[in-house]
Amino acid sequence: MLRAIFVIFFFQLLGEALKKFFEMRIPGPVIGLILLLITLIFLKRFKTTIVNKLRNDVLNTSNYILSYLSLLFVPIGVGVVMHLSYLENNLFKVLVIVFISTILTIGLTAFLMEKINKRINKK
């Protein structure tokens, strides 16, 4: 557990450092994610016990963190609710906009996915 947490934090640290170094606009954790993914795929070839142990540890701990992913959004969500007064009298409009654009976006993306998938499978 502790080793896995170290690995995950280390990759995030690496990501943040790279982001600052190259002045990238991609968030640090996302760079860390990509690095961790590459490392995991690279380590697939090594089948020693230490690597296997560490990998299983990272997989289990990550699954544990991800099972509570939505809890991590609560503090931000409270912020959104507590600052609603900044919207003045636009609250209803914003709700409608968020609703419409979310439905349209998810719908369009899912639609595209299905269409492209079908076309590929036909070939």
Interface contacts to other proteins, rule CB under 8 A = 5, 8-9, 11-12, 15, 25-30, 32-34, 36-37, 40-41, 58-59, 61-63, 65-66, 69-84, 86-88, 90, 93-94, 96-114, 116-117, 120
To the nearest whole angstrom, how small is the minimum distance from the Cβ of residue 21 to other proteins? 17
To the nearest whole angstrom, how small is the minimum distance from the Cβ of residue 5 to other proteins? 8
Q: Which of 13, 43, 7 is nearest to 28 (CA)?
A: 13
To the nearest whole angstrom, how small is the minimum distance from the Cβ of residue 28 to other proteins? 7
In the complex with other proteins, the residue whose CB is nearer, 39 or 50, is 39
In the complex with other proteins, the residue whose CB is nearer, 50 or 116, is 116
For tokens 């490392």, the residue is: 39
In the complex with other proteins, the residue whose CB is nearer, 49 or 73, is 73
